[in-house]
Amino acid sequence: MDVSQTFGHITSWEASPLFTPSRKSITLPPHDQKPAATRTSGSIILADANSFFAACERVFDPTLIGVPLVVLSNNDGCVVARSAEAKPIIPMGVPWYQVREMASERGVVARSSNYELYGSLSARMMHVMHHYFEHQEVYSIDECFLHSVKPIEDILTISRSMRAAVLQGVGIPVSVGIAPTKTLAKITNHWAKHDNGFNGVCAWDQLPDDVHDEILAQTPVDDVWGVGRRLMRKLVARGILTARDLRDADPIAIRRKFSVLLQRTVLELRGIPCVEDASNALDGFRKQQILCSRMFSRPVVGHTEIRQALSVYVQNACRRLRRQGCLASTVGIFCGVSPYASTQGETSMPYATAQLESPTDDPLVLMKVINEQLVSKVNPRTHYIRAGVILSGLVESRSYHPLEGFEARRDTHNIGSILDTATARFGQYSLGLGYGGIRGSGRKNEETGADWSMRREMLSPRCTTRWDEMPVVTAK
Ligand SMILES: [Mg+2]
């Protein structure tokens, strides 16, 4: 699942049309670090959760098991995830208000997206799987590539144990595809997930050649990892309709007509590994840019409320900056209008940035720069539906040693770490700077006291991250 494309507005794995994000990794909880294994040959094991968001909702609410379930985007706008039972009933991406009535008649249950819960369960799931194989690359919120040089029979046995351990320990069902390359592992995983005969674990090398051919012939070319819709049109025009057609295409001609990337895909489909690991959270991967943005529950006008929102976002961004041990050299803000508002002459405010005098991780310094240099660029009469803060030009805090007089403006009062400690103990937004500390009453409004905060009327409890939402189990 490409979360960065599906969920354009969420904080942890978000993407903005204003910049191109790199492939996202999640931050894993600290655990025994293994020495980084170098991949040479062997098998790629792709573990991918089944209907991940819906599965997360079911972990603490077993009454949802077997019920058609959908998860909605920010502000309860569109359907962004569906359980297997909901797939035949509700189309993906449909605006919720259009199908709400029909859905309730047919017993479909909806939930607001609960990113905190999904992120927490994802980290637990990755943590469990990390112990089973020599090397792990966390690829997205619900999938990771693992690697092993063990014999295939052993890998199958370990994969089955791993799958059972994730189901028992975290409550999330995962499917496992094992193949010599990542591209084939993706295809194998799809079959593991959708063909009950495999029981959730499928190994490419254990299938006969004619089944390989059959599987590739049944895979449309745009379902191949790395082939998008646009590329698909060009390939179809050349008579390449399926994964098998692409495998059998001349790699040199593909490179000449398309790109070296697609040539690698051809080779990967032939079982020759060409795609290296993009990044690995376990090897200390750090983001190059930190973005924090949200949609508002209603259009926001004027500098006061924009300032409130940016104050909340910059504190979130600073927390992530400190967590990865970095300082930011540049701070930027942006505000967006609804695409339907352009007829009224309202336009989004593109990304405005300010270069900091010296890199910093101090939320007070960053908020001061936003207030003094950037907020004035926001049109006070425009109705904005989202805003965000971007910290970039990140440098590693430990290795930043400038000349005397050019020192980094580090958070010497430790305000950031005091905020982090309070957050860990009392929950998010229990303490904050300026507007960031406003806490509303009641669960719906608790993110801040402001009524512009995101609408999530069907939000399930954040059982693993909030003390006050911990589930209560009663034995009878
Ligand atoms: Mg998945």
Tell me the domain boundaries of the chain.
42-206, 208-283, 286-468
How many angstroms separate the alpha carbon of residue 443 from the centre of ligand 1? 29
Q: How far is the CA of 316 from the centre of ligand 1 (A)?
A: 27
**Distance in angstroms (rounded) separating the CA atoms of residues 417 and 454:** 26
Q: Residue ranges of the alpha helices (H) in 196-237? A: 209-217, 229-237
Distance (Å) from CA 56 to ligand 1 centroid: 12
In terms of DSSP H, where are the helices of 136-228?
152-169, 182-194, 209-217
Cα 188 from chain centroid (whole Å): 23
Q: Among 116-130, 131-145, 407-421, where is mean pLDDT lowest?
A: 407-421
- DSSP, collapsed to helix, strand or coil, labels residue 300 as strand
What is the arithmetic mean of pLDDT over 261-276? 91
Q: How far is the CA of 167 from the centre of ligand 1 (A)?
A: 14
373 Cα to the center of ligand 1, angstroms: 42
Distance 170 CA to ligand 1 centre (A): 15
> Could you give the CA distance from residue 400 to residue 167 in angstroms, rounded to a whole number?
44
What does the pLDDT read at residue 184? 96
**Sheet holding 43-49: strands in order across?**
135-140, 143-148, 43-49, 174-179, 201-203
Side chain identity at residue 419, one-letter code: L
Q: Which helix (H) or strand (E) holds 268?
A: helix 260-269
Q: Give me the CATH topology for the region 42-206.
A: Alpha-Beta Plaits (3.30.70)
Q: How confident is the model at residue 31 (pLDDT cuts 50, 70, 90)?
A: very low
**260 burial level (CB within 10 Å; 0-12, 13-18, 19+):** exposed
Over 80: is that where the pLDDT of 260 sits?
Answer: yes
In the chain, % of residues over pLDDT 90: 43
The structural architecture, per CATH, of the domain 286-468 is 2-Layer Sandwich (3.30)
Q: Is the per-residue pLDDT at 15 higher than 90?
A: no
User: 86 Cβ partners below 8 Å, 6+ apart?
Assistant: 54, 68, 69, 70, 108
What pLDDT is stored for residue 21 in this prediction? 28
Say if residues 333 and 308 touch (Cβ distance below 8 Å). no
Q: How far is the CA of 4 from the centre of ligand 1 (A)?
A: 13
Q: Ligand 1 centre and the CA of 205: distance in Å?
A: 22
Maximum Cα–Cα distance for the chain, whole Å? 70
CA 130 to centroid of ligand 1, rounded, Å: 17
Task: Using pLDDT thresholds of 50, 70 and 90, give the confidence band for residue 14.
Answer: very low
- Say how far apart CA 380 and CA 309 lie, in whole Å: 14
What are the tens digits of pLDDT across the range 349-402? 778 889 888 888 888 889 889 988 888 888 888 888 889 999 988 888 877 776
Cβ atoms of 436 and 313 within 8 Å: the answer is no
Q: Is it the case that residue 40 has pLDDT exceeding 80?
A: no
Of 63 and 279, more confident: 63
Task: Determine how β-strand 79-82 pairs with β-strand 69-72.
Answer: antiparallel
Structural Rg of the chain based on CA atoms: 24
State in Å: Cα 237 to ligand 1 middle: 30
Rounded CA-CA distance 241/248 in Å is 11
Structure confidence by residue, pLDDT tens digits, 49-72: 999 999 999 999 989 999 999 999
| Domain 208-283, second-level architecture | Orthogonal Bundle (1.10)
CA of 76 from ligand 1 middle (Å) equals 21
Q: Can you give the pLDDT at residue 379?
A: 87
Distance 171 CA to ligand 1 centre (A): 14
Cα 289 to averaged position of ligand 1 atoms, centre (Å): 26
User: What's residue 140's pLDDT?
Assistant: 87
d(Cα 449, Cα 453) in Å, to the nearest integer? Answer: 8
Once rounded to an integer, what is the mean pLDDT over residues 10-26?
30
Instruction: Give distance in angstroms: CA of 258 to centre of ligand 1.
Output: 29
CA of 392 relative to ligand 1 center, distance in Å: 30
Average pLDDT over residues 259-272: 93
User: CB–CB of 333/312 below 8 Å?
Assistant: no
Residue range 403-415: mean pLDDT, rounded: 69
Lowest pLDDT segment from 258-267, 306-315, 429-438: 429-438
Q: Which helix (H) or strand (E) holds 15?
A: none
pLDDT given at position 347: 79
CA of 174 to the centre of ligand 1 (A): 8
Residue-averaged pLDDT of the chain = 81
Q: How many CB atoms lie within 10 A of CB 195?
A: 12
- Amino acid residing at 95: P
pLDDT for residue 339 is more than 60: yes
Between the CA of 161 and the centroid of ligand 1 the distance, in Å, is 19
* C-alpha 427 to ligand 1 mean position (Å): 29
Neighbours of 426 (CB within 10 A): 12
Report CA(60)–ligand 1 centroid distance (Å): 19
The whole-angstrom separation of Cα 35 and Cα 151 is: 22
Task: Quote the ligand 1 centre to 29 CA distance (angstroms).
Answer: 21
Classify strands 201-203 and 174-179 as parallel, antiparallel or unpaired: parallel
User: What's the mean pLDDT in 318-333?
Assistant: 89
pLDDT at 29: 32
In a 3-state reduction of DSSP, which class is residue 409?
A: strand
Dump pLDDT digits (tens) for 154-198: 999 999 999 999 999 999 999 999 999 999 999 999 999 988 888
Å from CA of 413 to ligand 1 middle: 43
pLDDT of 411 higher than 70? no
Residue with tokens 């409320």: 305
**Structure confidence at residue 302 (pLDDT):** 85
Choose the weakest-confidence range: 31-45, 59-73, 416-430: 31-45
Distance (Å, whole) CA 318 – CA 411:
11
Q: What is the pLDDT of residues 202-215, one digit of tens each?
A: 999 999 999 999 99
* pLDDT at residue 286 tops 90: no
Cα–Cα dist 324/141, whole Å? 18
Q: How far is the CA of 338 from the centre of ligand 1 (A)?
A: 30
313 alpha carbon – ligand 1 mean position (Å): 29
Whole-number Cα distances in Å, 95 to 51, 55, 77, 459:
19, 22, 6, 17
Distance of CA 51 from the midpoint of ligand 1 (Å): 6
Q: State residue 444's pLDDT score.
A: 46
Q: Are the beta carbons of 206 and 152 closer than 8 angstroms?
A: yes
Taking the centre of ligand 1 as the mean of its atom positions, its distance from the CA of residue 140, in whole angstroms, is 9
Q: How far is the CA of 250 from the centre of ligand 1 (A)?
A: 32
Ligand 1 centroid – CA 175 distance (Å): 8
CA of 191 to the centre of ligand 1 (A): 13
For residues 78-97, average pLDDT: 92
**What is residue 471's predicted lDDT score, i.e. its pLDDT?**
86
pLDDT for 445 equals 44
**For residues 122 and 280, what is the distance between their CA atoms, to the nearest angstrom?**
15
Contact (CB, 8 A) for 119 and 26: yes
Distance 83 CA to ligand 1 centre (A): 11
Give CA–CA dist 327/290, Å, rounded: 11
Q: How many separate helices (H) and strands (E) can be counted in the chain?
A: 14, 13
Q: How close is the Cα of 72 to the center of ligand 1, in Å?
A: 16
**CA pair distance 328, 356, nearest whole angstrom:** 8
| Contact (Cβ atoms closer than 8 angstroms) between residue 148 and residue 203 | no
Burial of 168 (0-12, 13-18, 19+ CB in 10 A): exposed
Arithmetic mean of pLDDT, 29-42: 43
Span from the CA of 141 to the centroid of ligand 1 (angstroms): 8
Ligand 1 center from residue 1 Cα (angstroms): 5
Quote the ligand 1 centre to 173 CA distance (angstroms): 10
State the Cα–Cα distance between residues 93 and 80, nearest whole angstrom.
Answer: 6
Residue 448 has pLDDT above 60, yes or no: no
Q: Which pTM value belongs to this model? A: 0.69
